[in-house]
Amino acid sequence: MKHLRTALLLGLIPASPLLAEPLEREDALKLPQTLITGNRQVEARSDSSSANTVFTRNDIDRLQPTSLTDLLGRVPGVQVVRSGGRGALPGIYIRGTKSAQSLVLVDGQRMANATSADSNLQYVNIDQIERVEVLRGSRSVIYGSDAIGGVIQIFTRRGADQSPRLRLHSAMGSYGSSVNSLGVFGGDEQTRYNFSASLEDTAGINRTHESFPSDNDHDAYRNKSLSLNVSHTLSPDLEVGMTAIKSTGKTELDNPFGRWDPTTFAVSGQQLYSDFDISSVGSFVDAQLSERWSSRLELGHSENREKTKDKLSADVSSFNTYRDSLNWQNNLTLNEQNSLMLGADAYQDRVRSSTVFDEDSRWNHAAFVQHRFDGERFSTEIGLRHDQNQQFGGHSTWSASLTLPLNVNNDVLLSYSEGFRAPTFNDLYYPLYSNPNLKPEHSKSYELQWRSQLSDSSRLETSLYRTDIRDAIVADADFIPQNIGAARILGVESALHQQWSGWQSNLSVAMIDPQDRDTGHTLSRRARRTLSLDLDKQFDRVGVGATWQAVSRSFNDEANKQPLGGYGVLGLRANWVPSSQVRLDLKVDNVLDKTFTRALYSYDGNYYGYREERRSVQVAVTWTPAF
């Protein structure tokens, strides 16, 4: 594994005749009814056994989300819990599972921090994104560790088969916020490219209530992002390419607990800020080896570097993690009804930090196989995976699904899947607050889906599921992680898409019962009911839209003694397209100026809510002139 960084460069060499996959992948990234993340290959969304949601770039432009986490809040069964304004750490709960139990990918590369398991989604600039795919439900057979609750994959901006074009975007809004980006994209039948750069800046809000005078300030956030994507078709059966993304910047932090000063034996305030540097680079080779055999090789390297400083003291801490990865997948069409997917992947994590860990590296190797049968009366999918981990040894998972077409417009799917999550370096080795004897978390999921094309303009997708988690990692009273927890999550979710008289609506509703089996308590920060409604219409050159999101009450703690109130937030938006090269956008978030909180913190024996932004306005212009 130590040579993977060198191999990353070799991955672009076209002399590898053993690699491939159907070459329509780059085109499929712009289509709303295709899916790649489900089986790491292009398929119709309706053919995937996974409940899924797709946002294309057209969706992102129409919805005008401020951040990636704003976009994810529209997915049925997904709840976003952010500790304050922009740049704050988000909790992403897919089907009631915690953030560490869902996998985040950027162009196929794992992005989670190996020490804390944080996804770093708050640092991915929305202007750098071409497409987002969300799988709901375990996908560990395909992806291994972490994919218990689901998978989120972000695809960076792509080029197109057209002459070179510029893309200039500038936005200004409340709280001293601004976003400016520049992109160059284009291509021809053989080569496509995109290069984008963006700068996001905000003076921010004071995320916490006043504790120390030094904490009574606004928490600013700055993010500089770059992305690069190049693909080249060497022949009708061979394509190579590479992708890269990098985000650097600073986010200011509130610490209402203060800092213990051993020289004065007193607690003093802090003014914390964190410098972050998140990057990922990958290369691939696709080849169609024969009419029935395609294969794809991907190599990647990602880094998560973060340094936290205190302006009022000399305190500095750094946590840097590095990951090298490789994936090789072969897709075999056995006949008209049977296909086989064979693959292997490997990755190695390394830690370099100001905190000394007993172990600072580990590797994971895996092989997987999946068979699919497509018949007139039913279809099946059966998969098996075996992981060999340097820390935990061997671990096997399997999954199976059955699809029954009731008629041409209605399908019923039954599925079972297993998942697991390996403990992080913090869980295992963080000084004084770790447990090197931890075992991986395990899950079993059962799901019933109904997919119905109600009419030419209406589609309904509903899922009923149960997830059981054992060996759950829970911190005890001394903040030491232990395998003492078990959880049972029951849920139902629906997504309804409709179009009538030019109006487009998307309604997502979810109800869950996330229970700690040992105590009977509701799992912390999981709302039992969530709703998201988007309504849009384009009147020739003018478009209007609205978003309503509602979240029921929940509990901030595992003991269910700290209630969090429910809330509803309304957003309005509009756009004007005066020409084919210019677009103007206007949006107002939290129109009703609601005060709400998604998480609590304790101070001075009391509990306070992290503040969220009140009513905010943003105007933007996008100009795409041709050269």
Residue 63 sits in a domain whose CATH number is 2.40.170.20
DSSP alpha helix (H) spans, 397-438: 425-429
Secondary structure of residue 100 in the 3-state scheme:
helix
Structure letter (DSSP) for residue 420? E
Q: SS3 sequence, 369-387?
A: EEEEEECCCCEEEEEEEEE
- Residue 420: how many CB atoms within 10 A of its CB? 26
- Quick one: which of 179, 215, 205, 231 has its CA closest to 312? 215
The residue type at 570:
L
Question: What is the C-alpha to C-alpha distance for residues 380 and 279, in angstroms, rounded to an integer?
Answer: 38
Helices (H) then strands (E): counts for the chain? 6, 37
Give CA–CA dist 132/154, Å, rounded. Answer: 5
Mean pLDDT (10-residue bins), the chain, 627 residues: 40 36 72 94 93 96 94 95 82 93 94 86 92 96 94 94 92 95 93 95 84 72 95 93 95 69 58 88 95 95 91 83 96 96 96 91 96 95 95 91 96 96 92 91 97 95 97 84 91 96 95 93 94 96 97 92 94 96 97 91 76 94 90
Domain that includes residue 47, residue range? 4-623
**For residue 416, what pLDDT is reported?**
97
The owner of tokens 């979240």 is: 551
In residues, how long is the chain?
627
Full DSSP string of 507-538: EEEEEEEEEETTT-PBPTT--SEEEEEEEEEE
Q: Give the C-alpha separation, 415 to 402, whole Å.
A: 6
Q: Tokens at residue 30, please?
A: 């712009």
Cα–Cα distance for residue pair 79/601, rounded to 1 Å = 19
Sign of CA dihedral 73, 78, 79, 80: negative
Q: How many CB atoms lie within 10 A of CB 235?
A: 11
**pLDDT score of 570:** 98
Supply 147's token pair.
Answer: 């994919």
Q: Are 524 and 557 in contact (CB under 8 A)?
A: yes
356 token code pair:
């000394």
Amino acid 454: pLDDT: 94
CA angle at 23 for the pair 17 and 27, rounded to the nearest 5°: 155
CB-based burial label for 538 (10 Å; 0-12, 13-18, 19+) = middle
- Centre a 10 Å sphere on the Cβ of residue 163 and count the other Cβ atoms it contains: 10
What is the tally of structural domains in the chain?
Answer: 1
Structure tokens at 293: 């055999």
Q: What SS3 class is residue 45? A: helix
Calculate the alpha carbon distances from 431 to 169, 257, 349, 425 in Å: 46, 21, 19, 11
**364 neighbors 376 (Cβ within 8 angstroms):** no
Q: Is 101 helix (H, G, I), strand (E, B) or coil?
A: helix
Give the Cα separation of 278 and 202 in Å (integer).
19
Residue 149: closest CA among 104, 97, 79, 192: 97
Residues 93/78, Cβ–Cβ less than 8 Å: yes
Angle formed at CA 574 by CA 570 and CA 578, multiple of 5 degrees? 175
CB 605 within 8 A of CB 257: no
d(CA 169, CA 182): 7
Own/partner contacts of 498-501, CB < 8 Å, gap of 24 or more, are 498/457, 498/458, 498/459, 499/457, 499/458, 500/457
What's residue 5's pLDDT?
40
The answer to whether 177 touches 618, Cβ cutoff 8 Å, is yes
C-alpha to C-alpha distance for 459 and 438, rounded to whole angstroms = 44
> What are φ and ψ of residue 141, in 5° steps?
-60, -35
- Whole-model pTM? 0.93
CB of 494 closer than 8 Å to CB of 485: no
Query: Of 542, 511, 9, nearest to 242 (Cα)?
Result: 9
